Structure 1
Amino acid sequence: MTAGAVYVGRFQPPHAAHLGTVREALAHADHLLVLLGSANLARSVKNPFSAPERAGMLRRALREAGADLRRVTFRPLPDRFDADLWAADVRREAAGVFGEGAPVSLVGFEKDASTAYLRWFPGWGRLPVPEVPGLNATDLRAAYFTGRPLPDGVPEGVRTFLARFTGTPAYPRLRAEWAAVEAARAALPPAARLHEERWLQVEGERAWLHTRRDPIGSGLWELPGRVLPPGETAAGGVEFAHPARALVAPTTAHVYREAVPAALPARPVPLALALRTPRRFHEDHHVIFMRLLDGAARSSSPG
């Protein structure tokens, strides 16, 4: 029996495989820390539910399954689109729950590139869990946003939440986004990789942003700019090319730290508001915003 274990996941939404993993972990660990990933990202077809909503679904499902919730701690975990920063966040959360230097085991099995992080924690133990074939949250979301019956393996508490969520304003927006993402992907050449140009303009206590009107990310802020047609590339700027940063296709962003061109729509918003509301931003634009501002602050510091 290990003292502490850490289980990282997006749980969008939770399903039977997630519950099985939690129960297996609790059979081998005194306490389990569940880290709810992508907690800083706006609602999208990839991440439709907030960290508190996912924690609530997991608690209900685990309670229904008879798990001892006193042995489970839930914490939000932001996406950083940087392996070192993200792994440091995981270690920091584990130290906060189990104590600095406490022995920790990481829960999970490597199914694809999305779980390669299991190798990023030298010195931690591994608590392998059995894979549940044929069950994944991607297919579950596809059924949910296209109005098809949910597959088997969705706990009753999760089904109840999903049924209620269809009555919120977010659900029709996400259904429209799902259709738009699928159409955009279908219009691209096979294995397309895109480029986009973005501008970061901050003056005094204001930042220039654009509010999206497209069905994908409707109503969210983005750095002003444009996605280039397939086959076109951009030059210069600071590049952001994490493979999971964009919803439609792998996209490299070229971000220029200069005034937004007059031809592009943008308006000033209070910098303090932009800083404290990451979930009002499209895709990873708040992560880019914060990283470039932090870099600018460091480069202007004396010594």
Structure 2
Amino acid sequence: MSGEEGYARSAVYVGRFQPPHRAHLGTVLGALEAFPRVLVLLGSANLARSVRNPFTAEERAGMFRAALREAGVERGRVLLRPLADRFNADAWAADVREAAREVLGDPAPALVGFEKDASTAYLRWFPGWERLLTPSVPGLNATDLRATFLTGRPLPEGVPEPVRAFLARFALTPAFKRLQVEWEAVEAARASLPPGAGLHEERWLYVRGEQVWLHTRTGPIGRGLWELPGRVLPPGERPEYPADVVIDHPARALVAPTTAHVYLRPVPDFLPARPVTLAQALVRPRRFHEDHHVLIWRWVGGHLRGDG
């Protein structure tokens, strides 16, 4: 516990909120009954638009704020901040703790949320923090909402009116059309895999001097985004040669759990790639497919330091 009185003085609520819905709003309102302030951390803020993360952190914050205003929440009681995905539990948890200290001035607030699956295992990553668990709303989750929205079906009752209004406007944008195409491609790719199949991919992370070699995606999934040069292997196939780095975070890929085998060496001639200024690449995380920017940041910063 924390605070001068020996208990948490504020609360932290972490989620992707893609998009925010009634259960998210109800969780915040419930936390406000117990605490004067709630910090909402908008996860995956560093990832490009995709069928899993259609909305930017700014867009999600705007939807959340509008729904809170409609619910009569006093301004300043709920603080919204972006939170990057690190695909590393320890680093990510450290970011959450740092945000609590910087924004709330509280080193051990209450952690708010409900445990629905492995994605909320983080509720156990903060020993010493008070936990405020809230019930889920049956039949309402953001995964199903995204499927409904991207396939053009009517939204359920659990979408607050300000969120519904934003989604209606977003549906008129080119970004929405691109995401609909990506949705169909992801669903088709999943349907082509054996049930429960995981995949392996080979990626080359090559830095020389002040440049990193990248490829621009042309297919319907992640069209126009940068990626590390490489290839996804057919189901059941594994790389022939040992990699320098292996990344197997279960949420890193869109289609299926995919283990990345990363080679820290020049890109083979058979793979298309071109040099991009490393400084430019590092400051544009949302220009990258899946977790490829995180891979560059982690291994360039920690291992290469620009020496190729």
Relative to the length of structure 1, the TM-score reads 0.96
1:274 aligns with 2:269: no
The 8 Å contact of residues 10 and 106 in structure 2, kept in 1 or not, is answered as no
Cα contact 2:182–2:221 (8 A) shared by 1: yes
Give 1:235-246 correspondences, 5 Å limit: 235-237=241-243, 238-246=245-253
**Aligned partner letter, 1:115:** T
CA RMSD, aligned part only?
1.3
Q: Tell me the residue number matched to 1:137.
A: 142
CA drift at 1:219? 0.4
Q: Which residue of 2 aligns with 1:94?
A: 100
Match of 1:114 in 2: 119
For 2:268, the equivalent position in structure 1 comes to 261
Aligned pairs for 1:80-91 within 5 A: 80-91=86-97
Amino acid in the other structure paired with 2:10: G
Q: 2:156 aligns with which of 151, 159, 163?
A: 151
Distance 2:30 2:304 in 1: 45
Give the total of aligned pairs. 299
Give the % identical residues.
70
2:194 is paired with a residue of what secondary structure? Answer: coil
- SS across alignment from 2:36: strand
- Is 1:227 the counterpart of 2:232? The answer is yes
Instruction: Tell me the residue number matched to 2:208.
Output: 203
Alpha-carbon separation, structure 2, partners of 1:15 and 1:69 = 19
Q: Any idea what SS the aligned residue of 1:273 has?
A: helix
Residues 160-208 of structure 1: CA distance to partner in whole angstroms, max 9, x if unpaired? 1111111221111100000000000000011111000000111111111
Range 60-69 or range 114-123, more displaced: 60-69
2:186 is the alignment partner of 1:181: yes
Q: Which amino acid aligns with 2:189?
A: A
Structure 1: how far apart are the matches of 2:194 and 2:155? 31
Consecutive unaligned residues in structure 1, runs of 5 or more? none
Distance 2:85 2:92 in 1: 7
Point out where structure 2 has 5 or more consecutive residues left out of the alignment. 1-6
1:2–1:30 CA contact under 8 A, matched in 2? no
Partners of 1:104 and 1:138 lie apart in 2 by: 28
| Residue 100 (structure 1) shift | 5.5
Confirm or deny that 1:20 pairs with 2:46: no
- The answer (yes or no) to whether the contact 1:2–1:28 under 8 Å persists in 2 is no
Tell me which amino acid in the other structure corresponds to 2:20. P
Q: Deviations over 1:20-78 (max 9, x none)?
A: 00000000011100000000000000000000100000000111111123111111000
The answer on whether the counterparts of 2:109 and 2:129 sit within 8 Å (CA) in structure 1 is yes
Any conservation in 2 of the 1:243–1:251 contact (CA below 8 Å)? yes
2:260 and 2:79 map into 1 onto residues whose CA distance is 36
Q: What's 1:284 paired with?
A: 291
**Which residue is equivalent to 2:46?**
40
Amino acid at match of 2:290: E
